[in-house]
Amino acid sequence: MVDKSSSVTVLDHPLAKAKLAKLRAKGSTTAEFRRRLQEISILLLAEASRSWTVEPATIETPMGSCASHALARPIALVPILRAGLGMLEGMSHIVPEATVGHIGLYRDETTLRPVKYYSRLPTNIAEAEVLLLDPMLATGYSACEAATVLKDAGARALRFICVVSCRPGIEQFHRLHPDVPIITAVIDPELNDVGYIVPGLGDAGDRYFAT
Ligand code: URA
Protein backbone atom coordinates (compact mmCIF):
# COMPACT_ATOMS: atom_id res chain seq x y z
CA MET A 1 0.00 0.00 0.00
CA VAL A 2 1.42 3.40 -0.97
CA ASP A 3 0.67 6.07 1.60
CA LYS A 4 -0.77 9.44 0.49
CA SER A 5 2.78 10.70 0.54
CA SER A 6 3.92 8.53 -2.38
CA SER A 7 7.39 8.13 -0.95
CA VAL A 8 6.12 6.11 2.00
CA THR A 9 5.18 2.50 1.35
CA VAL A 10 3.36 0.64 4.10
CA LEU A 11 3.85 -3.09 3.82
CA ASP A 12 0.38 -4.48 3.37
CA HIS A 13 0.77 -8.21 3.93
CA PRO A 14 -1.03 -10.64 6.24
CA LEU A 15 2.23 -12.29 7.34
CA ALA A 16 3.73 -8.93 8.22
CA LYS A 17 0.64 -7.98 10.24
CA ALA A 18 0.65 -11.25 12.19
CA LYS A 19 4.38 -11.10 12.86
CA LEU A 20 4.18 -7.45 13.87
CA ALA A 21 1.57 -8.32 16.53
CA LYS A 22 3.95 -10.85 18.04
CA LEU A 23 6.86 -8.42 17.81
CA ARG A 24 4.91 -5.77 19.70
CA ALA A 25 3.63 -8.08 22.45
CA LYS A 26 5.37 -7.36 25.72
CA GLY A 27 5.19 -11.04 26.69
CA SER A 28 7.42 -12.15 23.77
CA THR A 29 10.69 -13.69 24.85
CA THR A 30 13.98 -12.32 23.53
CA ALA A 31 14.26 -15.29 21.18
CA GLU A 32 10.76 -14.66 19.80
CA PHE A 33 11.44 -10.95 19.41
CA ARG A 34 14.66 -11.63 17.51
CA ARG A 35 13.02 -14.15 15.23
CA ARG A 36 10.03 -11.91 14.45
CA LEU A 37 12.22 -8.86 13.74
CA GLN A 38 14.34 -10.90 11.36
CA GLU A 39 11.28 -12.30 9.60
CA ILE A 40 9.57 -8.91 9.18
CA SER A 41 12.84 -7.51 7.87
CA ILE A 42 12.85 -10.13 5.13
CA LEU A 43 9.32 -9.16 4.11
CA LEU A 44 10.34 -5.49 4.09
CA LEU A 45 13.36 -6.36 1.96
CA ALA A 46 11.07 -8.03 -0.60
CA GLU A 47 9.02 -4.83 -0.80
CA ALA A 48 12.02 -2.48 -0.84
CA SER A 49 13.72 -4.40 -3.63
CA ARG A 50 10.67 -4.48 -5.89
CA SER A 51 11.99 -1.76 -8.19
CA TRP A 52 15.62 -2.88 -8.34
CA THR A 53 16.70 -3.38 -11.92
CA VAL A 54 17.71 -6.73 -13.31
CA GLU A 55 19.73 -7.50 -16.39
CA PRO A 56 19.49 -10.50 -18.68
CA ALA A 57 21.68 -13.47 -17.90
CA THR A 58 21.84 -16.98 -19.29
CA ILE A 59 22.30 -19.94 -17.02
CA GLU A 60 22.58 -23.65 -17.63
CA THR A 61 20.05 -25.87 -15.88
CA PRO A 62 20.65 -29.63 -15.81
CA MET A 63 18.24 -29.72 -18.80
CA GLY A 64 19.66 -26.93 -20.94
CA SER A 65 20.14 -23.24 -21.39
CA CYS A 66 17.73 -20.81 -19.69
CA ALA A 67 17.22 -17.09 -20.25
CA SER A 68 17.43 -15.64 -16.77
CA HIS A 69 18.20 -12.51 -14.73
CA ALA A 70 20.80 -11.05 -12.42
CA LEU A 71 20.57 -7.98 -10.21
CA ALA A 72 22.05 -5.06 -12.12
CA ARG A 73 23.58 -3.29 -9.13
CA PRO A 74 25.36 -4.37 -5.98
CA ILE A 75 23.47 -4.20 -2.69
CA ALA A 76 24.59 -2.43 0.44
CA LEU A 77 22.83 -2.85 3.77
CA VAL A 78 23.52 -0.17 6.35
CA PRO A 79 22.09 -0.72 9.84
CA ILE A 80 21.99 2.16 12.27
CA LEU A 81 23.60 0.81 15.43
CA ARG A 82 22.47 -0.83 17.38
CA ALA A 83 18.85 -1.84 16.76
CA GLY A 84 19.37 -1.90 12.98
CA LEU A 85 21.56 -4.97 13.46
CA GLY A 86 18.40 -6.97 14.14
CA MET A 87 17.11 -6.15 10.67
CA LEU A 88 20.48 -6.89 9.06
CA GLU A 89 20.53 -10.40 10.44
CA GLY A 90 17.29 -11.39 8.69
CA MET A 91 18.07 -9.68 5.40
CA SER A 92 21.54 -11.22 5.21
CA HIS A 93 19.96 -14.62 4.67
CA ILE A 94 18.27 -13.36 1.50
CA VAL A 95 21.09 -11.20 0.12
CA PRO A 96 24.27 -12.79 1.50
CA GLU A 97 26.25 -11.06 -1.25
CA ALA A 98 25.38 -7.60 0.10
CA THR A 99 28.12 -5.41 1.44
CA VAL A 100 27.45 -4.03 4.90
CA GLY A 101 28.12 -0.61 6.35
CA HIS A 102 27.56 0.55 9.92
CA ILE A 103 26.52 3.92 11.24
CA GLY A 104 26.72 4.38 14.98
CA LEU A 105 24.42 6.97 16.49
CA TYR A 106 23.17 7.24 20.00
CA ARG A 107 20.36 9.41 21.15
CA ASP A 108 21.14 12.16 23.65
CA GLU A 109 18.23 11.56 26.01
CA THR A 110 17.93 15.26 26.86
CA THR A 111 17.90 16.77 23.39
CA LEU A 112 16.70 13.58 21.62
CA ARG A 113 19.27 14.46 18.94
CA PRO A 114 21.60 11.85 17.45
CA VAL A 115 25.28 11.88 18.24
CA LYS A 116 27.45 10.08 15.68
CA TYR A 117 30.19 7.92 17.15
CA TYR A 118 30.95 5.54 14.26
CA SER A 119 30.71 5.31 10.48
CA ARG A 120 32.26 2.69 8.25
CA LEU A 121 30.79 2.24 4.78
CA PRO A 122 31.43 -0.12 1.85
CA THR A 123 33.52 1.22 -1.02
CA ASN A 124 30.74 0.39 -3.53
CA ILE A 125 28.21 2.70 -1.86
CA ALA A 126 27.88 5.01 -4.90
CA GLU A 127 26.95 2.18 -7.29
CA ALA A 128 24.87 0.17 -4.84
CA GLU A 129 21.20 -0.15 -4.06
CA VAL A 130 21.51 1.06 -0.49
CA LEU A 131 19.07 0.13 2.27
CA LEU A 132 19.36 2.12 5.48
CA LEU A 133 17.97 0.06 8.37
CA ASP A 134 16.46 1.04 11.70
CA PRO A 135 13.41 -0.72 13.19
CA MET A 136 11.94 2.50 14.62
CA LEU A 137 11.34 5.81 12.83
CA ALA A 138 10.47 7.90 15.90
CA THR A 139 11.62 11.54 15.92
CA GLY A 140 13.37 10.98 12.60
CA TYR A 141 16.57 12.69 13.76
CA SER A 142 18.76 9.57 13.65
CA ALA A 143 17.43 8.47 10.27
CA CYS A 144 18.04 11.97 8.88
CA GLU A 145 21.59 12.05 10.18
CA ALA A 146 22.35 8.58 8.84
CA ALA A 147 20.90 9.40 5.40
CA THR A 148 23.07 12.52 5.30
CA VAL A 149 26.15 10.42 6.14
CA LEU A 150 25.27 8.05 3.29
CA LYS A 151 24.65 10.81 0.76
CA ASP A 152 27.90 12.52 1.74
CA ALA A 153 29.64 9.20 1.05
CA GLY A 154 28.10 9.11 -2.46
CA ALA A 155 24.99 6.94 -2.01
CA ARG A 156 22.46 7.68 -4.76
CA ALA A 157 19.96 4.81 -4.81
CA LEU A 158 18.94 5.03 -1.18
CA ARG A 159 15.89 3.74 0.70
CA PHE A 160 15.07 3.86 4.39
CA ILE A 161 13.54 0.70 5.85
CA CYS A 162 11.88 0.58 9.26
CA VAL A 163 9.34 -1.62 11.01
CA VAL A 164 7.37 0.91 13.05
CA SER A 165 7.08 4.57 12.05
CA CYS A 166 4.96 7.56 13.05
CA ARG A 167 3.89 10.76 11.28
CA PRO A 168 6.29 13.15 13.03
CA GLY A 169 9.25 10.93 12.10
CA ILE A 170 8.11 10.59 8.50
CA GLU A 171 7.61 14.34 8.19
CA GLN A 172 10.99 15.13 9.73
CA PHE A 173 12.71 12.61 7.46
CA HIS A 174 11.06 13.96 4.34
CA ARG A 175 11.79 17.56 5.26
CA LEU A 176 15.48 16.74 4.95
CA HIS A 177 15.40 13.84 2.51
CA PRO A 178 12.31 14.14 0.28
CA ASP A 179 14.08 12.05 -2.35
CA VAL A 180 14.52 8.98 -0.12
CA PRO A 181 11.61 6.52 -0.10
CA ILE A 182 10.52 5.03 3.23
CA ILE A 183 9.32 1.44 3.47
CA THR A 184 7.63 0.61 6.77
CA ALA A 185 5.48 -2.19 8.21
CA VAL A 186 3.16 0.23 10.01
CA ILE A 187 2.56 3.91 10.81
CA ASP A 188 1.62 4.26 14.49
CA PRO A 189 -0.56 7.09 15.80
CA GLU A 190 1.71 8.79 18.34
CA LEU A 191 5.16 9.87 19.41
CA ASN A 192 5.32 10.55 23.16
CA ASP A 193 7.20 13.41 24.78
CA VAL A 194 10.30 11.30 25.41
CA GLY A 195 10.55 10.23 21.78
CA TYR A 196 8.97 6.77 21.98
CA ILE A 197 6.39 5.55 19.50
CA VAL A 198 2.99 4.67 21.00
CA PRO A 199 1.86 1.92 20.95
CA GLY A 200 5.13 0.94 19.23
CA LEU A 201 7.00 -1.95 20.75
CA GLY A 202 9.18 -0.33 23.39
CA ASP A 203 12.93 -0.01 22.98
CA ALA A 204 13.84 -2.16 19.99
CA GLY A 205 17.55 -2.33 20.86
CA ASP A 206 16.89 -3.35 24.46
CA ARG A 207 14.40 -6.00 23.42
CA TYR A 208 16.65 -7.41 20.67
CA PHE A 209 19.79 -7.49 22.80
CA ALA A 210 18.06 -8.22 26.12
CA THR A 211 19.65 -5.25 27.82
N1 URA B 1 13.53 3.80 19.59
C2 URA B 1 12.92 2.67 20.02
O3 URA B 1 13.57 1.63 20.17
N4 URA B 1 11.60 2.71 20.28
C5 URA B 1 10.87 3.82 20.13
O6 URA B 1 9.66 3.79 20.37
C7 URA B 1 11.52 4.99 19.68
C8 URA B 1 12.85 4.96 19.42
Q: How far is the CA of 201 from the centre of ligand 1 (A)?
A: 8
Query: Do residues 192 and 168 make contact, with C-beta atoms less than 8 angstroms apart?
Result: no
pLDDT for the residue numbered 85? 97
Residue 110 confidence class, pLDDT cut points 50, 70, 90: confident
Residue 109 has pLDDT above 90, yes or no: no
Q: Is the CB of 209 under 6 A from ligand 1?
A: no
Distance CA 4, CA 110 (A): 33
Across residues 180-195, what is the average pLDDT? Answer: 96
Residue 1 confidence class, pLDDT cut points 50, 70, 90: low
Q: How far is the CA of 149 from the centre of ligand 1 (A)?
A: 21
Which residue in 108, 152, 179, 206 is the catalytic one? 206
Burial of 57 per CB tally in 10 Å (0-12, 13-18, 19+)? exposed
Across residues 89-102, what is the average pLDDT? Answer: 97
pLDDT for the residue numbered 211? 95
Across residues 182-188, what is the average pLDDT? Answer: 98
Q: Which atom of ligand 1 is nearest to the CA of 203?
A: 3
Burial of 100 per CB tally in 10 Å (0-12, 13-18, 19+)? middle
Domains in the chain, please, with CATH? Answer: 2-49+73-209 (3.40.50.2020)
